[in-house]
Amino acid sequence: YASLLHTMYFAKLSEALIFRELNEAEDAAEKYFSVDRLVGLPPVMFFGKFYSGLVSFWIARESNSKKKKKWIRRGVECKDKMEKLSDLASTWNFQNKLYLLQAEEQFCSRNFETAETLYDAAILSSKVHKFVNEEALANELAGHFYLETGRRNKSVHY
């Protein structure tokens, strides 16, 4: 039963991320994290860590300081798991995802120059490794980054 809920909440949080529905993303992420530790994850569920990390950093940026710490911690935990996968399993498969999570983390920390570099690295790594959907996601999140930091002219390139 927990696996079914886990999968359902993952689908909801990834959909909310794609359609930029913050309240739905936060609700689904809360539920996802509540069952995450109950489920023995098959290797394919690294996508759950990837998307829940992206959602966590996004929620952190939109939250007050009390909630922000919780969401950053969750995002960092997901990023750290992706880093282990990149180092130990397959750089080819996980490098672009790690770069994107790192970019979102730096965006949360207001390290904008580092975030810019990491968004571009995520886009390039996705392109080189032929992850077209993740290249699109990295471009979209980079575009949001530039819009939210007041650089509309730069955002149109993403």
Sign (positive or negative) of CA dihedral 62, 64, 65, 68: negative
In this predicted structure, what is the pLDDT of residue 44?
55
In this predicted structure, what is the pLDDT of residue 42?
56
In this predicted structure, what is the pLDDT of residue 39?
75
Low-confidence residues of the chain, pLDDT below 70?
Answer: 40-45
Task: For residues 97 and 132, give the distance between their C-alpha atoms in angstroms, rounded to a whole number.
Answer: 12
**Residue from 48, 60, 37 nearest 12 by CA:** 48
In this predicted structure, what is the pLDDT of residue 21?
95
**Residue from 109, 97, 81 nearest 135 by CA:** 97
In this predicted structure, what is the pLDDT of residue 41?
59
